[in-house]
Chains A and B, each alone.
Chain A
Amino acid sequence: MTLLSILGILSSAIFSGTSLLYTALGEVIDERAGIVNLGLEGVLLVSASSGFAATVRYGNPYLGVLVAVIAGGLMNLLFGYLVITRKANQLASGLAIMFFGFGLSALIGNPYVGKSIHALPRFELPGLSSLPTVYASLFKFDILIYLVLPMAIFVWWLLFRTRWGLGVRAVGENTDTAFASGRNPRWIRYQALFAGGLLAGVGAAHISIAYAMNWTEYMTGGRGFIAVALVIFSRWHPIRAIAGALLFSAAVAMQLVLQNSGINISPFLLDSVPYVLTILVLIAWGGNRKQNAPASLGRVYQGSE
């Protein structure tokens, strides 16, 4: 195995992990406010398709990202209407959102199947210009990749160092107490869901506009579910979510490495590594009662009338 192929694997692992980390960060915010969105897969699909459609139509990938981000926020608000205002069950509503996303994204993306776009421009890492072009081209990343780690830190800062984050976490732990201390749980949950949807939109934009550069039905391939798993894996903490995304990327990389080196392990089994590992981690932590799950996760806020 050559150095070039190793670097190539590393590069593709970074690309596949980025969208996942954005999505997981969004879900961290949702779940910290006590809402679990199983429909993330649908949110991602709608964002990815509408972002791609906008990019084809207007020729500007940054505009496409913007459209995808807004679409993600709106999808989460729709979910919020069901679970917050109408007090519907979160798991069932999430699955309904998932089916909705399957359909809506197909409708939006259908005219754009097979269209090509100007992808999100990629920039070299500074200081690598002296490398031969084959190497340097592997480490040309788009702006979303450069921003993903700062974003994780920003989300951490937002949740743990601001008044807004304190409100979100208070609502996630105990809605009645949060209400008693003068906060509006419904309004805060809407805000958290919207923020989470925006981040999911960034992740989706990265899939369709920066990485795959096309649109196909169901193109997110279960990333929404992996993101939900990552949030649990990272025990609802944005910084630990980085480790989770790295783990997923490593699984992808492993797959490529094994294929390259001719070792015969089924890629199907490697695909399931992130899920199995998440379950094992849950078992390991579950025994110590240190899961750190927001206490009112999944509960319907009935109001304090």
Chain B
Amino acid sequence: MVQQADIVSKKAFAFPRWLNVVLRYLYMIGLSFLLFGLILLITGKDPILSYKDIFTSTLGSVYGFSEVIVAMTPILLTGLAVALPSRIMLINVGAEGQLYIGAAFATWGALTFQTLPAWLLIPIMMLLGMLGGAAWAFIPAYLKSIGLVNETITSLLLNSVAPKIIGFLVFGFWHSAVDTNKTASFVSAARLPTFFGTRVNLGLVFGLFLLIVFWLIMKYSRWGLEMRAIGGNPQASRRNGVPLKAYIIIVFCLGGALAGLAGMVQASGYYGLLLTNFSIGWGFMGFLISWLVAGDPFGILIMSFLISVILSGGNLLQITRGVPYSIINILLALTLFVVLARPAFSKGRKT
């Protein structure tokens, strides 16, 4: 009796569910901006003007908006690269490394098959990029599938190895005549086409397309069902005839392939060449994005957009307010802190 009365009283005071969600997200965003404003204030910058800069530079103009989309392209793909294995309870912290190796494979293609036309060269580079990412992901996936080493640890360690391989290749073999830190610019056939005179490239289309494919597969296919079964209870699904080892290897490598594609997109579409240490942590951001939205495809889209606003807004803040660029990492981190800490707006269970 007491319990029932308790439930009733809780129901009477609860907000409608959707309103509760909206309020909670507004509150979290507001809180992180408030905290960052405090930090700006302490360092003697005007927070209100800074925020005005961030938003007018990103959402206030067509060019600014296009730059947000440019920043969003790689983290959309790396977010997917983490979300896919997370469906069968595999933790891929290695998207950063897979991205590097994918970019290296794609660059090899761009440098080797320079004479091919674009309609042939771009798909070759995409395949190579995905192959590279998948190959890098195969190491942790295989070790996991035979029950030897946890995939979290190995994929994390391999993150630190991959950029060094790029350094070795670029510095030792591929560098241009003028700069030992990067290759010469790719031939135009090896560049992803861009749209409407902005820097938005075809990589965005890949990202959105794969996002939809991911959603469809998880929802409607047999593979999606089996993956959900593995995520729910690996042993039970194995006894029901789901090939567990094959799933671990294939799904993890597919995740790696997505991160590798992100690397190819950045090398071919964004930079148009390969340079050492080119990633600003896109792989790690992908991990955070996927984690924050629990691998939900629509959530990945929203969250990567939000983070891109912060990233590209920070570019301008550096110029107009004279703060170091990496300060934008603080705003990024505060947003993450607030989401991770999940303050409840009304008293309810945390999910």
Chain A: residues with CB nearer than 8 A to chain B?
Answer: 38, 81-82, 86-89, 91-93, 95-100, 102-104, 106-107, 110, 217, 222, 225-226, 228-229, 232, 266, 268-269, 271-272, 275-276, 278-279, 282-283, 286-287
In this complex, the member of B43, B333, B350 whose beta carbon has the largest number of chain A beta carbons within 10 angstroms is: B333
Residues from chain A with Cβ under 8 Å of B288 in the complex? 92, 95-96
Q: A100-B329, A106-B324 are known contacts. Are A278 and B157 too (CB-CB below 8 A)?
A: yes
A279 to B154, Cβ gap below 8 A?
yes
B333 to A92, Cβ gap below 8 A?
no
B149 to A282, Cβ gap below 8 A?
yes
Bound state CA distance, A106 and B323, in angstroms?
9
Residues from chain A with Cβ under 8 Å of B214 in the complex? none
B148 to A287, Cβ gap below 8 A?
yes
Q: A91-B93, A106-B324 are known contacts. Are A282 and B164 too (CB-CB below 8 A)?
A: no
Residues from chain A with Cβ under 8 Å of B331 in the complex? 103
A-B pairs, 9 with minimum CB distance:
A103-B329, A100-B333, A103-B330, A96-B336, A106-B326, A88-B340, A86-B341, A268-B167, A268-B168
Q: B187 in the interface, Cβ–Cβ < 8 Å? A: no
Bound state CA distance, A77 and B345, in angstroms?
24
A89 to B291, Cβ gap below 8 A?
yes
Residues from chain A with Cβ under 8 Å of B43 in the complex? 107
Residues from chain B with Cβ under 8 Å of A232 in the complex? 153
Contact of A107 among B281, B291, B323 (CB under 8 A): B323
In this complex, the member of A104, A107, A228, A232 whose beta carbon has the largest number of chain B beta carbons within 10 angstroms is: A107
Bound state CA distance, A287 and B324, in angstroms?
47
Q: Is the interface of A mostly helix, strand, loop or mixed?
A: helix
Contact of A82 among B152, B159, B337 (CB under 8 A): B337
Residues from chain A with Cβ under 8 Å of B342 in the complex? 86, 88
Q: B284 in the interface, Cβ–Cβ < 8 Å? A: yes
Contact of B284 among A89, A98, A266, A276 (CB under 8 A): A98
A100 to B324, Cβ gap below 8 A?
no
Residues from chain B with Cβ under 8 Å of A226 in the complex? 160
Bound state CA distance, A217 and B331, in angstroms?
17
Q: B229 in the interface, Cβ–Cβ < 8 Å? A: no
> CB-defined interface of B86-98 with A at 8 Å, one 1/0 digit per residue?
0000010100000
Q: What is the distance, in angstroms, from A144's C-beta to the closest C-beta of chain B?
A: 25
Q: What is the distance, in angstroms, from A183's C-beta to the closest C-beta of chain B?
A: 25
A89 to B281, Cβ gap below 8 A?
no
> CB-defined interface of B156-181 with A at 8 Å, one 1/0 digit per residue?
11111100110110011000000000
Q: What is the distance, in angstroms, from B293's C-beta to the closest C-beta of chain A?
A: 11
Bound state CA distance, A99 and B172, in angstroms?
31
B329 to A276, Cβ gap below 8 A?
no
> CB-defined interface of B122-165 with A at 8 Å, one 1/0 digit per residue?
00000000000000000100010000110011101111110011
28 contacting pairs across A/B (C-beta < 8 A)? A87-B350, A88-B340, A89-B340, A91-B91, A91-B93, A91-B152, A92-B291, A92-B336, A93-B337, A93-B340, A95-B287, A95-B336, A96-B337, A100-B330, A100-B334, A102-B326, A103-B333, A107-B323, A110-B323, A110-B324, A229-B160, A266-B167, A268-B171, A269-B164, A269-B165, A279-B149, A282-B153, A286-B143
Q: A228-B156, A279-B157, A286-B149 are known contacts. Are A103 and B340 too (CB-CB below 8 A)?
A: no
Please give me the residue from chain A that is nearest to B340 by CB atom: A88
Bound state CA distance, A18 and B92, in angstroms?
31
Residues from chain B with Cβ under 8 Å of A38 in the complex? 93, 156
Q: A228-B156, A275-B161 are known contacts. Are A97 and B149 too (CB-CB below 8 A)?
A: no
Q: What is the distance, in angstroms, from B165's C-beta to the closest C-beta of chain A?
A: 7
Residues from chain A with Cβ under 8 Å of B39 in the complex? 107
Please give me the residue from chain A that is nearest to B341 by CB atom: A86
Bound state CA distance, A283 and B333, in angstroms?
34
Q: What is the distance, in angstroms, from B37's C-beta to the closest C-beta of chain A?
A: 14
Q: What is the distance, in angstroms, from A174's C-beta to the closest C-beta of chain B?
A: 19
In this complex, the member of A100, A222, A229, A287 whose beta carbon has the largest number of chain B beta carbons within 10 angstroms is: A100
Given contacts A229-B160, A275-B157, 8 further A-B contacts (CB under 8 A): A92-B291, A97-B333, A103-B326, A217-B324, A225-B160, A268-B165, A272-B161, A283-B148
Q: B327 in the interface, Cβ–Cβ < 8 Å? A: yes
Bound state CA distance, A266 and B281, in angstroms?
24
In this complex, the member of A91, A96, A97, A98 whose beta carbon has the largest number of chain B beta carbons within 10 angstroms is: A96
A268 to B330, Cβ gap below 8 A?
no
Near A by CB (< 8 A), chain B positions 316-351 give: 323-334, 336-337, 340-342, 350
Residues from chain B with Cβ under 8 Å of A266 in the complex? 167-168, 171-172
A99 to B329, Cβ gap below 8 A?
yes
Q: A92-B288, A268-B164 are known contacts. Are A103 and B328 too (CB-CB below 8 A)?
A: yes
Q: What is the distance, in angstroms, from B308's C-beta to the closest C-beta of chain A?
A: 15
Q: What is the distance, in angstroms, from A36's C-beta to the closest C-beta of chain B?
A: 9
Please give me the residue from chain B that is nearest to A264 by CB atom: B172
Q: B184 in the interface, Cβ–Cβ < 8 Å? A: no
Bound state CA distance, A86 and B164, in angstroms?
36
B327 to A95, Cβ gap below 8 A?
no
A99 to B332, Cβ gap below 8 A?
yes
B156 to A225, Cβ gap below 8 A?
yes
Residues from chain A with Cβ under 8 Å of B327 in the complex? 103, 106-107
Residues from chain B with Cβ under 8 Å of A217 in the complex? 324, 326
A86 to B148, Cβ gap below 8 A?
no
Bound state CA distance, A91 and B94, in angstroms?
12
